[in-house]
Every structure is written in C-alpha cells, then in structure tokens.
Amino acid sequence: MQNEKKIQKIALLVSCASVLQAAEFLMPSPLPGVKLGLANIITLIVLADMGFIPALEVAILRTVVSSLFLGTFLSPTFVMSFSGAVTSTVLMGLTFKYLGFISTSVLGSVTHVITQMSVVYFLVIHHPGVFVLIPWLGASAVVMGWLTGAVAMNVFARIKEGGIADTLPEAQGIKKITRNAAFSAPAMIKIILTAIICTLVLLVNDLRLYALVFSLLLAASSILKTTVSVMFSGVKRLRMFLVFSLIIPVLFNRGGAELFSFWLLKVTQSGLLTGLLFAFRLILLMMATGLLSASTPAEELAGSLKKIIGERLSRIVMIAWENIPVFWERSRLYIKQHKFDSSIFKKALPVAINLVALLYAETEKAR
C-alpha cells in the first residue's frame, strides 16, 4: 500500500513538472536560448522533501512525459532535456545538503546548460563554435538558477509550515489527450525505426544520404496519411536553433574557396556546405520524430516504454500522462483568476510561488 501511494505521488509530481516544462516550452523565450527552468523547481522540492532517488525519477520521467505531450519524443530537444536533467539532478543531489536551495539550483542550472551544449556539439553541430554561447547562456543560467532556487525555497517553507490555505480551481469537462493514429503498426516498431533513422543521420555526414532519407520520410508521411506541415511542426519550434546550426560553421570555417567577404565576415565554400549539412541533419531528426509523434497516439508510445523502462516506471509515466490535462487546466484557471496590470512584476513571483505550492499540495492527496 505504501509503495502504491509513493508511485501515485511521484507520478503526480512528474505530471506537475511536465506541465511546467510544457508551459515554458510554449512560452516565448525572454532572450535567445534563455530558459526559466520552471520544472527544476519541482525537482528541488522533491530533493528536499523525499530525497535523491525520487527527485531523479521525477527529473528524468518529466522529460519523457512532456516530450509525449509536446510531440518531441526522441527529438534533439528531448535528448538535450533528458541529458541535462540527469547530470544536473545528480550534481544537485550530491551538493544539496551542503549548499541549500539557491546555490544548488544555480549549480544545477549551469550544469544543465553545459550538458546541453555538449550534446549539441557531439550529436548535431560538430563544431567548437557552439561553445561561444557558453558565457552568455552560463550567465543567464546563474540568474535563472537563482530565481528558481528562491521559488523552490519559498514553496518548500510554505509546505512545511502548512501555510497553504488556497486551493486550485476545479476544472470541468477535461478531455483526455489523444492523437489519431493513421497506421496500425506497433508503436515499438515505429520507435525502433525512428531510432535507426536518427542514428544513421547522426553518424553519416553525407548530403546524398540525407536527400534519400528526406525522400523516404516524405513517402512515409504519405503512407501514414500525415500532412507535411504536421511533420515539420517540430522544425518550426526549433527555427532559432536551426539558424544557429547554419550560421556557426559559416562564420568560423575558413576552408575552401571564398564565396563572400565583408569586413571581418568571410563566407567560404566549406563553411557554407558544413552549415547546410548541420541544418539538414537537424531538419531530418525533427521530421523523423515528428512523424513518429503524429502517427502514434502518445498512450501507445508510453505503453511501449514498459518494455524499455520496466513496469514501475512505465506505470508512473502512464499515471502522469493521464493527469497532465487536469493540472494544465487547473493551473490555467488559477492564473486567469489573477488579472495582471501594471504591477505584473510584483504579482508574478508571489503567484508563481503559490501556484507551485498548490500543485505540490495536490500530490499529497495521492491514494
């Protein structure tokens, strides 16, 4: 009974963290590449309240659940989020006892950025120019880490003091999240095929192969009755990253014939071809994972994970998935109750603290 109650609570925490991650993903970034790290607030509170293992489970599984919700499962954004969640949570788990909320959060935020940039370098853009963004993103990680750490500290204090008198509004007419599947092949087969395509694209640097894969994906979208616009939806969300993957080699590669020069800018044939290769690779990765998400209901994808991550973790994923629309709608209604005016900056932080506290309090009701 105690084990079942713990599974229920962790699943609800995963759902809460996934809602925060999805909300952040859908919000416009304040500055290019800068993320608030809202989901990390839940990880920090779980770390303080339940310990390292539950915090690691929440951090890892919320990347899976949110990717199913957003349709980015197995995409580059999923890989970056997953790897960043693992390394940052492990480091936070090792240091939380000694550093406390804010310092641990800053350390985790910086670690997350470094991990993500390393993944970008080794998997997508094999060019050291990607690391020119480390100082910029590192500085923003310190600021955002301090902010999320402060929110987590205030929420945890409120929970322990029992100072949560408010409740989340009840939401009526919640609809189950579904995606229409046009092709009845087992989800596991489609996951394996997608993984093979992504691995092939990452390991082989050949525009001719990329053109072949591109043609096959277009043909597959026709067979699966998936529109091209749906398949390219992930590409649209990563357009800034796409531009970045093209520009970095163009700016820093100096090999081959010179095509254009202006002041310090020099565009060479090698730089342009390398940039096109990196950009094309990213497009293919997003097309393949977008096709997987569009042609397979997320419930089937989550169910297929049972063979990969086991009964317990797959059960957590499924429970979390079922509760996302509930937490999403109730959070939306709560925010809607607070009309922001000219004092938005004064109200935003207290409302955010109270909302996270209420979300966490809801998980305490697990039976």
Q: How many domains does the chain have?
A: 2
Geometric angle at alpha carbon 55, from 50 and 60, rounded to 5°: 155
- For 19-45, the pLDDT digits (tens) are 888 877 766 555 555 677 888 999 999
Looking at the predicted structure, is the pLDDT value of residue 342 above 50? no
> Are 58 and 123 in the same domain?
yes
- The per-residue pLDDT for 367 is 47
> Are 114 and 224 in the same domain?
no
In 3D space, the residue among 89, 142, 97, 149 whose CA is nearest the CA of residue 115 turns out to be: 89
- Among 296, 326, 352, identify where a domain stops: 296
- Among 248, 266, 296, identify where a domain stops: 296
> Are 36 and 92 in the same domain?
yes
Rounded to an integer, what distance in angstroms lies between the CA atom of residue 365 and that of residue 367? 6
Mean pLDDT value across the chain: 79
> Are 172 and 191 in the same domain?
no
Give the CATH number for residue 128: 1.10.1760.20
Look up the domain containing 254 and give its range: 187-296
**Is 182 part of any domain?**
no
> Are 40 and 161 in the same domain?
yes
In 3D space, the residue among 210, 229, 232, 213 whose CA is nearest the CA of residue 276 turns out to be: 210
**Is 251 part of any domain?**
yes
Q: Give the pair of three-digit tokens for residue 211.
A: 């053109």
- The per-residue pLDDT for 53 is 93
SS3 of residue 356 by DSSP: helix
pLDDT band at 59 (very low <50, low <70, confident <90, very high): very high
> Are 127 and 196 in the same domain?
no
pLDDT band at 255 (very low <50, low <70, confident <90, very high): low
> Are 316 and 169 in the same domain?
yes
SS3 of residue 267 by DSSP: strand
**Is 301 part of any domain?**
no
**Is 292 part of any domain?**
yes
Q: What is the mean pLDDT of residues 178-199?
A: 73
The answer to whether residues 237 and 257 touch, using CB atoms and an 8 Å cutoff, is: no
> Are 164 and 93 in the same domain?
yes
Higher pLDDT, 331 or 367: 331
- The per-residue pLDDT for 90 is 95
Q: What is the mean pLDDT of residues 264-268?
A: 67
The answer to whether residues 337 and 328 touch, using CB atoms and an 8 Å cutoff, is: no
Kindly compute the dihedral angle of the four CA atoms of residues 211, 217, 223, 224, in this order, to the nearest 10 degrees: -170
> Are 39 and 170 in the same domain?
yes
Rounded to an integer, what distance in angstroms lies between the CA atom of residue 242 and that of residue 40? 26
- For 133-177, the pLDDT digits (tens) are 777 778 888 988 998 999 899 888 888 877 665 677 776 656 555
